[in-house]
C-alpha cells in the first residue's frame, strides 16, 4: 500500500513543509503539495519517495531556503519529481549522488550555478524538463539515463554538459546559451537524436576522447562552428544539419576519427579533418589597420614590434608561395606594462591584422580575466577556461592581469594554476586557430610564466608597453574630449600637461585611465556649472570645458 502525505501551508491537517513530510514519510511514500510557494532544503538518502502536486503543473514553486543551498540533495535514493517549479540561487537546484532520479514536467532554474547536477554512478530519467535562467544548464557526470522532450534555454555559460557519461537524449532543445550549447567531454559516449541547438558559441563541442552519436540533429544561429570534433575524438555524425553558423559548419580537428555521413544544409559538403577554408590576404585592409595603429598616441616601441611581426608573417607567406622553407612560429604574445597603456586597443588591432593577413579566420576579440576562467570547485576551472578559449577560436583571446592566475598570487591560487595548465594544452592543440595575448605588470608576468614549464615557450615574444609621457596624456585628454564633442581651451591643455608631470608614477598610476578619470570629472563639473546658469546654455557653452572646471577637479582629487 502506498502512503500519501499532504503538504500545505494553510491546512491544519497537513504537513507545513515538504521537509516535515519527509521526516514522517515511510519508504516508498508519495508526498503531494498543495498550490503555493515553499522554502526548502531537502536531503533524501537511501530511500524512495515521489514528490508531486495537487493543483496541476506549475502550481507549486519550491525555492532554496538560502541562496547558497540546494533545493534537493539526493544520495543513493530513488526520487521522482512531478510538475514542480524549482528556483535555486547560488547553488544547484538539484544534486544527485548515486541512486535514481526521475523528473517529469518540471521547470528548474538556478541563478548562479548549474541548475541540475547528476553525479557519479547515478541513473536519471528526464521527461519534458525545462531548465532556464541558470549559470549552466544540466551536468551529467559519469552517469546514465534518458532525456526526452526537454528544453534548456537562457543559460549564461554551457547549456548541457556531458562528462564521462553515456545518456540517450531525444527530441530536446538547447538555445540561448552564452558559450556552448552542448559540451561532450572526458570520454563521454552519449546518443543525441532529433535535437535542436542554438548558442552564442559552438553548437555542439566534442572533446577529450569522447565518441558521441549525433543523428538528425539541427544546429543553427550560432556564432562559432555548428559541430566541432576535437583531436582524439570519434563517434558518428549522421544526417545532421547546420544553418547560419561559422564555417565550417561541421569541423573535424586533426586527429579526430568521427564519421560524418549524409549532407548538411547551408554548406556544399561535410568537412573533414584539416579542411579549413583558406582566407586570402587583404592588402587594403592591412594598410587601413596599420594606419589605425600609427594613429595611436605614443607607444613607438609597441608599434615597431607589431610592424615587425606583420612584416615577418608577410615574408613567410612569400617564402611559402615560392616553395621555400618557413620556420614554424607562434603568434601568441605577452603584453607587459602598467595599466592604461593601450594594451587592449593594440590587441584588437593585432587580431584584425592577423585576419587580414589570412593567419586567423575571423580576427574576433574576447577579453577575459581571472573570474572568467577560474571556477569554484575542482574541475570547474577547466570547464570555464575551455569554454572561454573555444568561444575565442578564430580570433584573439586577451587575458588581462594574467599573473593573478599563478600560485604566487593571493588565495585560491591552485584553481588559477588549473586554468594555466588547461591553457597550455589548448594553446598547443589549437595553435593555428587562435592567438592568446596575456597582459599584466612586467614583474608579475615573470611569475606567471614560471607557473608552468611549457607556458613561456607558447609565446613568440613579449612587448613592453611604456608609460605615457605628460605631453601624450594631455593629447589623450584632448582626443577624449573631441570624441565626445567637447572642447578644451589651450590654457587647459597646458595645465593638464603640467598636472600629469606632477602625478606620482607609482604602481597605482593608471596612464590613460587617469586621463579618462580627469575627463569624466571635468564633464561633471561643467554640468554642475551650466545648471547654475538658470537658462539653456548655448551650443558653444555646452561644448567648452574651462580651466576653472579643470582646477576644481584637480584640487578635489
Report the length, in residues, of the chain.
557
Q: Bridge partners of 185?
A: 163
* pLDDT band, residue 508 (cuts 50/70/90): low
Residues 6+ apart with CB under 8 A from 372: 384, 388
Neighbours of 460 (CB within 10 A): 14
Closest CA to 298 of 484, 471, 442: 471
- Same domain assignment for residues 447 and 477: no
- The pLDDT score that the predictor gives to residue 286 is 86
- Same domain assignment for residues 253 and 313: no
In a domain, 347, yes or no: yes
- Same domain assignment for residues 371 and 287: yes
Share of the chain above pLDDT 70, in %: 91
476 class by beta-carbon count within 10 Å (0-12 exposed, 13-18 middle, 19+ buried): buried
Cα 250 to Cα 30: distance, rounded to the nearest angstrom: 47
- The pLDDT score that the predictor gives to residue 484 is 85
Q: What angle do CA 449, 454, 460 make, to 5 degrees?
A: 70
List the CATH number of the domain containing 345.
3.40.50.300
- Same domain assignment for residues 358 and 443: yes
In a domain, 22, yes or no: no
Q: Is the pTM of this model over 0.75?
A: no
What is each CA distance from 82 to 58, 61, 74, 124, 267, in whole angstroms? Answer: 10, 12, 16, 14, 42
> Torsion angle, CA of 72/107/193/142, rounded to 10 degrees?
-10
Grid coordinates given for 411: 588565495
Range of the domain at 420: 283-465
Residue corresponding to grid cell 573555444: 390
Res. 224: pLDDT tops 80: yes
List the CATH number of the domain containing 497.
1.10.8.60
The arithmetic mean of pLDDT across residues 279-298, rounded, is 82
| Pairing between β-strand 107-118 and β-strand 85-88 as defined by DSSP bridges | parallel
Cα 205 to Cα 392: distance, rounded to the nearest angstrom: 14
Q: What angle do CA 405, 409, 411 make, to 5 degrees?
A: 95
The arithmetic mean of pLDDT across residues 462-471, rounded, is 88
- Same domain assignment for residues 179 and 301: no
Half-sphere exposure of 545 (CA within 13 A, CB side): 29
Judge if the upstream peptide bond of residue 248 is cis by omega within 30 degrees of 0.
yes
Top pLDDT among 108 and 261 is at: 108
> Torsion angle, CA of 375/380/384/385, rounded to 10 degrees?
90
Long-range contacts of range 241-248, CB-CB < 8 Å, 24 or more positions apart?
241/217, 241/265, 241/266, 242/203, 242/218, 242/266, 242/267, 243/218, 243/219, 244/220, 245/203, 245/219, 245/220, 245/221, 246/222, 246/361, 246/362, 246/394, 247/277, 247/361, 248/275, 248/276, 248/277
Grid coordinates given for 282: 587583404
In a domain, 43, yes or no: no
* pLDDT band, residue 83 (cuts 50/70/90): very high
**Which of 241, 276, 311 is the C-terminal boundary of a domain?**
276
Top-confidence range, 252-266, 287-301, 372-386? 287-301
Top pLDDT among 406 and 305 is at: 305
Question: Could you tell me if 174 and 199 are in contact, meaning their C-beta atoms sit under 8 angstroms apart?
Answer: yes
Top-confidence range, 73-87, 236-250, 273-287? 73-87
- Same domain assignment for residues 336 and 245: no
Top pLDDT among 106 and 399 is at: 106
Closest CA to 102 of 176, 160, 163, 51: 51
- The pLDDT score that the predictor gives to residue 500 is 86
For 338-394, the pLDDT digits (tens) are 888 888 889 889 888 888 887 877 777 888 888 888 877 666 788 888 888 888 888
- Same domain assignment for residues 345 and 459: yes
What is each CA distance from 182 to 174, 392, 410, in whole angstroms? Answer: 8, 17, 34
- Same domain assignment for residues 304 and 433: yes
Cα 393 to Cα 49: distance, rounded to the nearest angstrom: 46
The H-assigned helical ranges of 25-178 are: none
In a domain, 71, yes or no: no
In a domain, 476, yes or no: yes
Residue corresponding to grid cell 521527461: 127
**Which of 465, 491, 521 is the C-terminal boundary of a domain?**
465
Helix axes 547-556, 490-502, angle to 10 degrees: 20
In a domain, 5, yes or no: no
* pLDDT band, residue 408 (cuts 50/70/90): low
Residues 6+ apart with CB under 8 A from 304: none
Share of the chain above pLDDT 90, in %: 36
What's the DSSP call for residue 20?
A: H
- Same domain assignment for residues 318 and 415: yes
User: Lowest-pLDDT range, 28-42, 148-162, 367-381, 434-448?
Assistant: 367-381
**Which of 422, 443, 465 is the C-terminal boundary of a domain?**
465
* pLDDT band, residue 412 (cuts 50/70/90): very low
Cα 383 to Cα 260: distance, rounded to the nearest angstrom: 26
- Same domain assignment for residues 291 and 427: yes
Per the structure, the count of domains in the chain is 3
Q: Bridge partners of 108?
A: 86, 131
In a domain, 387, yes or no: yes
Cα 467 to Cα 342: distance, rounded to the nearest angstrom: 10
- Same domain assignment for residues 520 and 543: yes
N-to-C CA span, the chain:
77
Cα 160 to Cα 251: distance, rounded to the nearest angstrom: 20
Question: Could you tell me if 157 and 133 are in contact, meaning their C-beta atoms sit under 8 angstroms apart?
Answer: no
User: Lowest-pLDDT range, 7-16, 403-412, 415-424, 431-440?
Assistant: 403-412
- Same domain assignment for residues 290 and 335: yes
Residue corresponding to grid cell 549522488: 97
DSSP-derived 3-state class of residue 221: coil
The H-assigned helical ranges of 220-299 are: 283-295
Amino acid at each position: 500500500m502506498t502512503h500519501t502525505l499532504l503538504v500545505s501551508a494553510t491546512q491544519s491537517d497537513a504537513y507545513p513543509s515538504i521537509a516535515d513530510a519527509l521526516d514522517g514519510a515511510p519508504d516508498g511514500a508519495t508526498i503531494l503539495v498543495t498550490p503555493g510557494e515553499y522554502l526548502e532544503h531537502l536531503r533524501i538518502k537511501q530511500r524512495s519517495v515521489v514528490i508531486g502536486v495537487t493543483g496541476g503543473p506549475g502550481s507549486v514553486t519550491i525555492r532554496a531556503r538560502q541562496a547558497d543551498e540546494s533545493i534537493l540533495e539526493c544520495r543513493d535514493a530513488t526520487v521522482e519529481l512531478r510538475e514542480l517549479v524549482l528556483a535555486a540561487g547560488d547553488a544547484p537546484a538539484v544534486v544527485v549522488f548515486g541512486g535514481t532520479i526521475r523528473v517529469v514536467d518540471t521547470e528548474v532554474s538556478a541563478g548562479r550555478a548549474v541548475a541540475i547536477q547528476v553525479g557519479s554512478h547515478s541513473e536519471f530519467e528526464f521527461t519534458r524538463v525545462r531548465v532556464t535562467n541558470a549559470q549552466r544548464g544540466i551536468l551529467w557526470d559519469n552517469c546514465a539515463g534518458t532525456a526526452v522532450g526537454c528544453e534548456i534555454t537562457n543559460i549564461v555559460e554551457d547549456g548541457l554538459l556531458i562528462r564521462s557519461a553515456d545518456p540517450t537524449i531525444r527530441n530536446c532543445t538547447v538555445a540561448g546559451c552564452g558559450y556552448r550549447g552542448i559540451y561532450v567531454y572526458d570520454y563521454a559516449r552519449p546518443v543525441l537524436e532529433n535535437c535542436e541547438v542554438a548558442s552564442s558559441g559552438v553548437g555542439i563541442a566534442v572533446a577529450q576522447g569522447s565518441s558521441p552519436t549525433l543523428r538528425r540533429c539541427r544546429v543553427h544561429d550560432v556564432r562559432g562552428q555548428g559541430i566541432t570534433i576535437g583531436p582524439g575524438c570519434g563517434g558518428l555524425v549522421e544526417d545532421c544539419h547546420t544553418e547560419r553558423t561559422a564555417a565550417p559548419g561541421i569541423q573535424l580537428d586533426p586527429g579526430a576519427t568521427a564519421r560524418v555521413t549524409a549532407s548538411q544544409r547551408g554548406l556544399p559538403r561535410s568537412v573533414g579533418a584539416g579542411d579549413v577554408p583558406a582566407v586570402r590576404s587583404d592588402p587594403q585592409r592591412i594598410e587601413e589597420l596599420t594606419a589605425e595603429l600609427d594613429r595611436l598616441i605614443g607607444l613607438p616601441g609597441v608599434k615597431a614590434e607589431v610592424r615587425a611581426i606583420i612584416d615577418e608573417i608577410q615574408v613567410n607567406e612569400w617564402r611559402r608561395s615560392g616553395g621555400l622553407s618557413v620556420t614554424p612560429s607562434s603568434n601568441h604574445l605577452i603584453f607587459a606594462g602598467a595599466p592604461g597603456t593601450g594594451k587592449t586597443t593594440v590587441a584588437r588591432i593585432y587580431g584584425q591584422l592577423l585576419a587580414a593577413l589570412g593567419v586567423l579566420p575571423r580576427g574576433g576579440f574576447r577579453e577575459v580575466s581571472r573570474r572568467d576562467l577560474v571556477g569554484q570547485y575542482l574541475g570547474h576551472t577547466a570547464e570555464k577556461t575551455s569554454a572561454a578559449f573555444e568561444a575565442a577560436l578564430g580570433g584573439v583571446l586577451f587575458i588581462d592581469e594574467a599573473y593573478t592566475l599563478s600560485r604566487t598570487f593571493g588565495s585560491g591560487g591552485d584553481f588559477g594554476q588549473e586554468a594555466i595548465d588547461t591553457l597550455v594544452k589548448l594553446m598547443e592543440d589549437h595553435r593555428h586557430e587562435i592567438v592568446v595575448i596575456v597582459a599584466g605588470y612586467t614583474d608579475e608576468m615573470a611569475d606567471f610564466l614560471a607557473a608552468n614549464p611549457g607556458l613561456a615557450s607558447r609565446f613568440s615574444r613579449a612587448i613592453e608597453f611604456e608609460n605615457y609621457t605628460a605631453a601624450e596624456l594631455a593629447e589623450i585628454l584632448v582626443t577624449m574630449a573631441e570624441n565626445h564633442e567637447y572642447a578644451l581651451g589651450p590654457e587647459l591643455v597646458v595645465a593638464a600637461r603640467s598636472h600629469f608631470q606632477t602625478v606620482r608614477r607609482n604602481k597605482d598610476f593608471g596612464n590613460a585611465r587617469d586621463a579618462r578619470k580627469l575627463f569624466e570629472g571635468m564633464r561633471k563639473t561643467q554640468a554642475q556649472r551650466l545648471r547654475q546658469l538658470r537658462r539653456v546654455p548655448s551650443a558653444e557653452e555646452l561644448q567648452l570645458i574651462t580651466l576653472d572646471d579643470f582646477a576644481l577637479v584637480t584640487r578635489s582629487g
